[in-house]
Protein backbone atom coordinates (compact mmCIF):
# COMPACT_ATOMS: atom_id res chain seq x y z
CA UNK A 1 0.00 0.00 0.00
CA UNK A 2 1.40 3.44 -0.85
CA UNK A 3 1.81 6.16 1.78
CA UNK A 4 -1.35 8.07 0.76
CA UNK A 5 -3.47 4.93 0.98
CA UNK A 6 -1.98 4.19 4.42
CA UNK A 7 -2.73 7.70 5.68
CA UNK A 8 -6.30 7.46 4.37
CA UNK A 9 -6.72 4.12 6.13
CA UNK A 10 -5.38 5.31 9.50
CA UNK A 11 -8.03 6.19 12.06
CA UNK A 12 -8.13 6.82 15.79
CA UNK A 13 -9.00 3.48 17.36
CA UNK A 14 -11.64 3.80 20.07
CA UNK A 15 -11.85 0.11 20.97
CA UNK A 16 -9.25 -2.64 20.68
CA UNK A 17 -9.06 -6.40 20.32
CA UNK A 18 -7.82 -7.27 23.81
CA UNK A 19 -6.63 -10.76 22.82
CA UNK A 20 -4.47 -10.38 19.71
CA UNK A 21 -0.81 -9.88 20.62
CA UNK A 22 1.49 -7.47 18.79
CA UNK A 23 4.50 -9.31 17.30
CA UNK A 24 7.65 -8.40 19.23
CA UNK A 25 9.58 -7.32 16.14
CA UNK A 26 6.97 -4.65 15.42
CA UNK A 27 7.37 -3.26 18.94
CA UNK A 28 11.15 -3.23 18.56
CA UNK A 29 10.81 -1.48 15.17
CA UNK A 30 8.57 1.15 16.74
CA UNK A 31 11.15 1.83 19.48
CA UNK A 32 13.83 2.41 16.87
CA UNK A 33 11.52 4.52 14.68
CA UNK A 34 10.69 6.82 17.62
CA UNK A 35 14.38 7.11 18.53
CA UNK A 36 15.04 8.29 14.97
CA UNK A 37 12.48 11.13 15.14
CA UNK A 38 13.95 14.43 13.94
CA UNK A 39 13.97 17.51 16.19
CA UNK A 40 15.18 21.10 16.05
CA UNK A 41 18.98 21.27 16.49
CA UNK A 42 18.70 17.51 17.07
CA UNK A 43 17.79 18.24 20.71
CA UNK A 44 15.84 14.98 21.34
CA UNK A 45 14.26 16.19 24.61
CA UNK A 46 12.14 13.08 25.09
CA UNK A 47 11.58 9.79 26.84
CA UNK A 48 9.34 7.11 25.30
CA UNK A 49 7.99 4.69 27.89
CA UNK A 50 6.71 1.40 26.46
CA UNK A 51 4.19 -0.22 28.83
CA UNK A 52 3.07 -3.78 28.15
CA UNK A 53 2.77 -4.85 31.79
CA UNK A 54 -0.99 -5.26 32.31
CA UNK A 55 -0.99 -4.18 35.95
CA UNK A 56 0.89 -0.93 35.38
CA UNK A 57 -1.12 -0.27 32.23
CA UNK A 58 -4.35 -0.66 34.26
CA UNK A 59 -3.09 1.85 36.84
CA UNK A 60 -2.28 4.34 34.09
CA UNK A 61 -5.66 3.66 32.42
CA UNK A 62 -7.45 4.58 35.66
CA UNK A 63 -5.95 8.11 35.48
CA UNK A 64 -6.58 8.62 31.77
CA UNK A 65 -10.00 10.31 31.72
CA UNK A 66 -12.24 9.01 28.88
CA UNK A 67 -9.40 6.82 27.58
CA UNK A 68 -9.51 4.19 30.34
CA UNK A 69 -11.21 1.39 28.43
CA UNK A 70 -9.10 1.61 25.28
CA UNK A 71 -5.85 1.65 27.29
CA UNK A 72 -6.94 -1.48 29.14
CA UNK A 73 -7.82 -3.21 25.87
CA UNK A 74 -4.77 -2.18 23.80
CA UNK A 75 -1.72 -4.41 24.13
CA UNK A 76 0.76 -1.52 24.22
CA UNK A 77 0.79 1.96 25.69
CA UNK A 78 3.59 4.35 24.79
CA UNK A 79 4.01 7.45 26.93
CA UNK A 80 5.71 10.48 25.38
CA UNK A 81 7.46 12.66 27.96
CA UNK A 82 9.43 15.90 27.74
CA UNK A 83 12.42 17.06 29.74
CA UNK A 84 11.30 18.52 33.06
CA UNK A 85 14.54 18.65 35.08
CA UNK A 86 16.84 21.09 33.32
CA UNK A 87 19.88 20.36 35.50
CA UNK A 88 19.65 16.67 34.66
CA UNK A 89 19.15 17.46 30.98
CA UNK A 90 22.20 19.73 30.94
CA UNK A 91 24.27 16.64 31.79
CA UNK A 92 22.72 14.80 28.83
CA UNK A 93 23.50 17.75 26.56
CA UNK A 94 27.08 17.94 27.85
CA UNK A 95 27.79 14.22 27.53
CA UNK A 96 25.72 12.87 24.66
CA UNK A 97 25.52 15.72 22.14
CA UNK A 98 27.69 17.08 19.36
CA UNK A 99 29.41 20.43 19.93
CA UNK A 100 27.05 22.02 17.41
CA UNK A 101 23.87 20.86 19.16
CA UNK A 102 25.33 21.71 22.58
CA UNK A 103 26.30 25.25 21.55
CA UNK A 104 22.92 25.85 19.93
CA UNK A 105 21.08 24.53 22.97
CA UNK A 106 23.12 26.63 25.41
CA UNK A 107 22.43 29.76 23.35
CA UNK A 108 18.71 29.05 23.08
CA UNK A 109 18.47 28.26 26.80
CA UNK A 110 20.18 31.54 27.69
CA UNK A 111 17.90 33.51 25.39
CA UNK A 112 14.46 32.62 26.74
CA UNK A 113 12.56 32.14 30.03
CA UNK A 114 12.37 28.52 31.25
CA UNK A 115 8.66 28.38 30.45
CA UNK A 116 9.23 29.24 26.79
CA UNK A 117 12.04 26.70 26.66
CA UNK A 118 9.62 24.05 27.97
CA UNK A 119 7.08 24.94 25.28
CA UNK A 120 9.72 24.74 22.55
CA UNK A 121 10.96 21.37 23.79
CA UNK A 122 7.39 20.04 24.02
CA UNK A 123 6.81 20.91 20.36
CA UNK A 124 9.69 18.63 19.47
CA UNK A 125 8.01 15.71 21.28
CA UNK A 126 4.84 16.20 19.22
CA UNK A 127 6.88 15.52 16.09
CA UNK A 128 7.44 12.03 17.49
CA UNK A 129 3.67 11.58 17.78
CA UNK A 130 3.29 12.20 14.03
CA UNK A 131 6.08 9.75 13.37
CA UNK A 132 4.55 7.20 15.76
CA UNK A 133 1.03 7.41 14.30
CA UNK A 134 2.32 7.03 10.75
CA UNK A 135 4.72 4.25 11.70
CA UNK A 136 1.94 2.33 13.47
CA UNK A 137 -0.29 2.09 10.41
CA UNK A 138 2.73 1.26 8.25
CA UNK A 139 3.43 -1.63 10.65
CA UNK A 140 -0.18 -2.80 10.29
CA UNK A 141 -1.16 -1.60 13.75
CA UNK A 142 -3.98 0.66 14.93
CA UNK A 143 -3.37 3.48 17.38
CA UNK A 144 -4.85 6.26 19.48
CA UNK A 145 -3.12 9.54 20.30
CA UNK A 146 -4.23 10.65 23.76
CA UNK A 147 -3.71 13.99 25.45
CA UNK A 148 -6.42 12.91 27.87
CA UNK A 149 -4.08 11.69 30.60
CA UNK A 150 -3.32 12.96 34.11
CA UNK A 151 0.33 13.78 33.76
CA UNK A 152 1.21 14.17 37.47
CA UNK A 153 -0.41 10.83 38.31
CA UNK A 154 1.44 9.17 35.44
CA UNK A 155 4.69 10.51 36.94
CA UNK A 156 3.85 8.96 40.32
CA UNK A 157 2.90 5.59 38.85
CA UNK A 158 6.00 5.50 36.63
CA UNK A 159 8.33 6.90 39.30
CA UNK A 160 9.34 9.57 36.84
CA UNK A 161 11.08 12.80 37.85
CA UNK A 162 13.41 14.13 35.15
CA UNK A 163 10.72 13.94 32.43
CA UNK A 164 7.02 14.83 32.35
CA UNK A 165 4.40 12.97 30.26
CA UNK A 166 2.71 15.12 27.62
CA UNK A 167 0.49 12.51 25.96
CA UNK A 168 0.29 8.79 25.30
CA UNK A 169 -0.40 6.50 22.37
CA UNK A 170 -2.36 3.25 22.65
CA UNK A 171 -1.34 0.67 20.05
CA UNK A 172 -2.73 -2.69 19.03
CA UNK A 173 -5.37 -4.14 16.75
CA UNK A 174 -8.58 -2.12 16.62
CA UNK A 175 -11.72 -4.17 17.22
CA UNK A 176 -13.65 -5.15 14.10
CA UNK A 177 -16.78 -3.29 15.24
CA UNK A 178 -15.06 -0.03 16.27
CA UNK A 179 -17.47 2.74 15.19
CA UNK A 180 -14.49 4.92 14.35
CA UNK A 181 -13.17 2.57 11.66
CA UNK A 182 -12.89 4.28 8.30
CA UNK A 183 -15.59 2.04 6.74
CA UNK A 184 -18.11 3.17 9.37
CA UNK A 185 -16.98 6.74 10.10
CA UNK A 186 -15.38 8.26 7.00
CA UNK A 187 -12.48 10.66 7.48
CA UNK A 188 -13.57 14.17 8.29
CA UNK A 189 -11.17 16.92 7.26
CA UNK A 190 -11.32 20.47 5.94
CA UNK A 191 -11.18 20.76 2.15
CA UNK A 192 -7.75 20.76 0.54
CA UNK A 193 -8.45 24.16 -1.09
CA UNK A 194 -9.03 25.65 2.37
CA UNK A 195 -5.86 24.34 3.98
CA UNK A 196 -3.34 24.10 1.13
CA UNK A 197 -2.07 27.14 -0.68
CA UNK A 198 -0.05 26.59 -3.84
CA UNK A 199 1.97 29.47 -5.15
Ligand X SMILES: Cc1cc2nc3c(=O)[nH]c(=O)nc-3n(C[C@H](O)[C@H](O)[C@H](O)COP(=O)(O)O)c2cc1C
Which residues form the interface with ligand X (CB under 6 A)? 11-12, 67, 144-148, 167, 180, 187
Q: Report whether 85 contacts 114 (CB < 8 A).
A: no
Q: Which is nearer to ligand X, 44 or 143 (CB)?
A: 143
8: β partners: none
| DSSP reduced 3-state for 160 | coil
CB closer to ligand X out of 158 and 166: 166
Min dist CB 69 to ligand X, Å, is 10
Residue nearest ligand X (C-beta atom): 148
Least Å distance, CB 17 to ligand X, is: 17
**Could you tell me the sign of the dihedral formed by the alpha carbons of 83, 89, 93, 95, in that order?**
negative
DSSP-derived 3-state class of residue 144: strand
Q: Quote the least distance from Cβ 185 to ligand X, whole Å.
A: 7
Choose between 23 and 148: whose C-beta lies nearer to ligand X.
148
Q: How far is the CB of 178 from ligand X (least distance, A)?
A: 10
Cβ closest to ligand X, residue 115 vs residue 188: 188
Are 148 and 64 spatial neighbours (Cβ–Cβ below 8 Å)?
A: yes
Residue 23 φ/ψ, nearest 5 degrees? -60, 140
Amino acid sequence: MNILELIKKRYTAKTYNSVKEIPLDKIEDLKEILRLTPSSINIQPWKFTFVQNQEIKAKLASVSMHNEEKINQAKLLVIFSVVDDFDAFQKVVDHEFSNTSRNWYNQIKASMPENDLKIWLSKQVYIALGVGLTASIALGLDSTAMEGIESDKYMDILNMSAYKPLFAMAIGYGSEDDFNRIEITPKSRRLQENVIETI
